[in-house]
Every structure is written in structure tokens, then in C-alpha cells.
């Protein structure tokens, strides 16, 4: 035996192993993001890997129940029929959770994007007690995950918070509309016996909602946009080349606290004239003369029926949004603006006014092809984005899920 053979795990072997793990993630990511299912030959073409390597990687992913095969289809090319590969359903999942100003939610999503379980509960969490709210979230988590089949493996969970999160382990530094400051959300969640062992990470609500939108837009080739998430508060996120730009601490995107009128009303953050005070849900309902607890559908219904107060409220909000977004686009140079949260169903009323503001205030507008869209992901996008954040780590490095 030579000395070379006596060190089977030398640097070169380790590099080989790393490369294999990297390629495993590459192949899984391609299968998950593909707008139409890919065959092994398609993946070989897309990656430049050999057909044999792709087959071996795909087989490992199938064995691990991360990928499934569909019935073979005859391909255009000569030879054997192609077997389309798709993300496996109902095998590996993650939990997305959200605490927002007027609801709590828990959603379980698998690798294929299917929702396996969900509960969303409406309540008023303005100036709420964090311990009580996190306690209820822990109960909801147990109720939703307790109803799932035992064959489903859980990759972990992520919680969306409408405020500034200091690292994924917390604390939540500030959630102005909840009235929370320096709350150890992870510690409180783990203080409940039923969720004491649950892997949980924190992130900003708009960041996670933008992530869900980025997942939805990637297959159609749209990778960069400014996302605005309307709720009681207004969040934002800048997505560049498919990734959310977090800023130095992950605190970027606080578009709701951009000042649109320094002489405007006092904001929950302590400043005055923030965008939220003109275009947040409470501001919209108040200026339409409607009860703050009513759903936005009531405001939209009134606007569609031609109610002057409802229409004026939407126009005022759209003008404030237009001002803030024009400032933001001048700063960051993106050409797509996506309206999420409550703004997606309001888009027909908002877009013409926002569009006009962008065209008249953004310096590069004549050349940049600026466009404002309603979000693709409508239904509690941050819940989906939170689950996606966890699953994304599995997709990038599936090696830890191969042997179970």
C-alpha cells in the first residue's frame, strides 16, 4: 500500500466531497426553480455536468425523498423517453410564522410549495403584551404541526416580525406598531414546553414577503425589484438579482418611515409625517371615515361603488406612496416596483397615481422602463417567505437530509 492510498481523506478527497455536495444543491435548486419539470438530460445541459453525474445526484435526491419522478414522456430527441423530475410533495417541510399588528399566522409549506397546514387568527396587537402574543403563537404552532402526518420531516421555522430584528436569533429591537422594544422572542417561544425544541429564526416581515415574491418572479426572469408591503405598518425590501439587500444590520427597507410631509401627523415611531401615517391601513380607513377594525375589502367595495370618501382616501395614500417610492427609486435604481400586502388588491386604484409620481419625479424614468405591479403572492406572503427562507438552506445544502 502506498502512502497516497493510506490517506483516503486527503485534501483532494475533501475537495471532491465538497464539490459533490455543491452539485447536489445546484441540481436540487434547478429542479425546484424550473417553470416546467426538467429531465436528467435537461439538467446536464443546464449545468455542464455529465449525464452520469446528474443521474447519480438525482438518484440520491430521489432516495432522500427530496425529489420525485413523474411518468416518462416522449422527448423531441431520439432515444429513451425523458423522466421529468419535480420537488417531492409532503416529505420535507418548513414552518412560516408571522406576528403582525392585526393577525397571527402559522403556515407549513413543503419543498413543492404546497401548503400542508395553516392557521391565521385575527386580533388587535397594537401595544400588545409580547409574552401573551408569543404564547398564543406557540399554541398555534402546536395545533398546526400536530395535525400533520408523522412522515413529514420538519426543516425548521422562521418568524416574520413587523419591525427591526437584531440577527436571526433576536432580539426584536423595535416593532413600533406592536409597541415592542428589545423583546427576546426566541427565548419566549422556547419558554413554552411544546415549542421548547423548535428551531426558529427571526426576520423582518417585508423582507420575508419580498422573498416569497422573489421566488414567484424568478421563473419569469424578474430578479430585481422594490417591494412595498402594506399592512397597518408599511414595510419594504429591495431585491437585487434575486436576493434581498438587507443593509448593514438587516434593517433596510423601512419605507413606512420615510418622511413624506415633515409637518404631518405623529407616527408610532416618534417621528412625524411618515408614509405610514398617510398610506398605512389605519390611515386609509380613518381618512375614508371607516372603522379601523373593518377589513380593507370594505374600503375597496366602497371605492368600487364610487364612494367619494373611499376614493379620496385611496388617492391620498397613492400620492404619499408615489412620493416615497420616487425618492426610493432615485436612490436605488430599480425599474420594477411591486405592491404587496393590502396594496395588491388596491393596485387598480393606486397604480395610476403612483405611476404618474414616478414618471414626473424619477430622474431616469424616460430610460429605465419603470413599472409598478401588484404582487403575485397575495395570501400572507410573509408566511410563505418565512417557510421558503428555511427550505432554501436545505436546497442549498441538502447533504444533511440524505440519510434519514
Map grid coordinates 398610506 to a residue. Answer: 279
Determine if 271 is a binding residue for Zn ion (CB under 5 A): yes
Q: 233 or 322: whose CB is closer to Zn ion?
A: 233
Q: 168 or 271: whose CB is closer to Zn ion?
A: 271
Q: Are 119 and 143 in contact (CB under 8 A)?
A: yes
Q: 42 or 254: whose CB is closer to Zn ion?
A: 254
Pairing of strands 225-230, 234-240: antiparallel
What's the burial of 361, exposed, middle or buried (CB within 10 Å: 0-12/13-18/19+)? middle
CA–CA separation, 346 and 330 (whole Å): 24
Q: 57 or 324: whose CB is closer to Zn ion?
A: 324
Residues 137-176 that bind Zn ion (CB under 5 A): none
Q: 10 or 247: whose CB is closer to Zn ion?
A: 247
- Minimum gap (Å) between residue 42 Cβ and Zn ion: 49
CA–CA separation, 304 and 302 (whole Å): 5
- Minimum gap (Å) between residue 350 Cβ and Zn ion: 20
- Whether cis (ω within 30° of 0) applies to the bond prior to 108 is no
Question: Residue 222: CB partners within 8 Å, gap ≥ 6?
Answer: 336
Select from 44-52, 132-140, 271-279, 326-334 the region that touches Zn ion (CB under 5 A): 271-279
- Minimum gap (Å) between residue 258 Cβ and Zn ion: 9
- Minimum gap (Å) between residue 336 Cβ and Zn ion: 25
- Minimum gap (Å) between residue 246 Cβ and Zn ion: 20
Determine if 257 is a binding residue for Zn ion (CB under 5 A): yes
CA–CA separation, 373 and 213 (whole Å): 11
Determine if 274 is a binding residue for Zn ion (CB under 5 A): yes
Q: 266 or 363: whose CB is closer to Zn ion?
A: 266
Q: 58 or 174: whose CB is closer to Zn ion?
A: 174
- The correct pick among 152, 259, 269, 311 for binding Zn ion (CB under 5 A) is 269
- Minimum gap (Å) between residue 61 Cβ and Zn ion: 46
Grid coordinates belonging to 9: 481523506
CA–CA separation, 16 and 19 (whole Å): 5
- x/- map, 217-256, Zn ion, by CB under 5 A: ----------------------------------------
Question: Residue 378: CB partners within 8 Å, gap ≥ 6?
Answer: 344, 345
Helices H / strands E in the chain, number of each: 14, 15
Using CB under 5 A as the binding criterion, the count of chain residues that bind Zn ion stands at 5
CA–CA separation, 213 and 228 (whole Å): 11
Which residues contribute to the site for Zn ion (CB under 5 A)? 257, 267, 269, 271, 274
Amino acid at each position: 500500500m502506498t502512502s497516497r492510498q493510506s490517506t483516503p481523506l486527503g485534501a483532494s478527497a475533501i475537495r471532491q466531497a465538497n464539490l459533490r455536495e455543491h452539485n447536489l444543491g445546484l441540481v436540487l435548486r434547478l429542479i425546484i426553480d424550473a417553470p416546467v419539470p426538467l429531465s436528467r438530460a435537461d439538467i446536464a445541459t443546464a449545468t455542464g455536468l455529465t449525464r452520469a453525474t446528474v443521474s447519480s445526484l438525482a438518484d440520491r435526491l430521489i432516495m432522500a425523498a427530496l425529489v420525485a419522478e413523474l411518468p416518462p414522456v416522449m422527448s423531441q430527441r431520439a432515444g429513451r423517453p425523458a423522466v421529468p423530475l419535480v420537488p417531492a410533495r409532503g416529505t420535507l417541510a418548513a414552518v412560516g410564522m408571522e406576528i403582525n399588528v392585526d393577525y397571527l399566522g402559522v403556515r407549513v409549506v413543503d419543498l413543492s410549495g404546497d401548503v400542508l397546514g395553516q392557521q391565521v387568527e385575527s386580533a388587535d396587537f397594537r401595544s400588545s403584551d409580547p409574552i401573551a402574543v408569543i404564547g398564543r403563537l406557540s399554541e398555534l404552532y402546536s395545533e398546526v404541526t400536530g395535525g400533520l402526518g408523522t412522515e413529514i420531516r420538519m426543516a425548521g421555522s422562521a418568524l416574520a416580525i413587523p419591525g427591526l430584528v437584531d440577527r436571526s436569533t433576536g432580539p426584536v429591537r423595535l416593532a413600533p406598531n406592536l409597541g415592542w422594544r428589545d423583546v427576546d422572542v426566541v427565548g419566549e417561544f422556547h419558554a413554552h414546553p411544546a415549542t421548547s425544541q423548535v428551531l426558529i429564526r427571526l426576520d423582518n416581515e417585508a423582507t420575508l414577503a419580498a422573498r416569497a415574491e422573489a421566488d414567484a418572479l424568478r421563473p419569469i426572469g424578474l430578479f430585481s425589484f422594490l417591494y412595498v408591503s402594506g399592512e397597518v405598518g408599511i414595510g419594504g425590501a429591495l431585491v437585487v438579482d434575486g436576493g434581498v439587500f438587507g443593509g448593514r444590520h438587516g434593517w433596510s427597507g423601512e419605507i413606512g418611515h420615510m418622511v413624506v410631509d415633515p409637518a404631518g401627523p405623529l407616527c408610532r415611531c416618534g417621528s412625524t409625517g411618515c408614509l405610514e401615517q398617510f398610506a398605512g391601513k389605519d390611515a386609509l380607513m380613518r381618512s375614508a371615515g371607516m372603522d379601523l377594525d373593518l377589513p380593507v375589502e370594505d374600503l375597496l367595495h366602497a371605492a368600487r361603488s364610487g364612494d367619494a370618501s373611499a376614493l379620496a382616501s385611496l388617492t391620498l395614500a397613492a400620492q404619499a406612496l408615489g412620493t416615497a417610492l420616487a425618492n426610493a427609486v432615485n436612490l436605488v435604481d430599480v425599474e420594477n416596483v411591486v405592491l404587496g400586502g393590502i396594496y395588491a388588491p388596491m393596485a387598480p386604484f393606486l397604480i395610476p397615481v403612483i405611476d404618474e409620481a414616478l414618471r414626473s419625479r424619477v430622474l431616469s424614468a424616460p430610460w429605465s422602463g419603470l413599472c409598478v405591479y401588484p404582487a403575485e403572492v397575495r395570501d400572507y406572503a410573509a408566511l410563505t417567505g418565512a417557510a421558503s427562507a428555511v427550505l432554501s438552506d436545505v436546497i442549498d445544502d441538502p447533504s444533511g437530509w440524505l440519510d434519514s
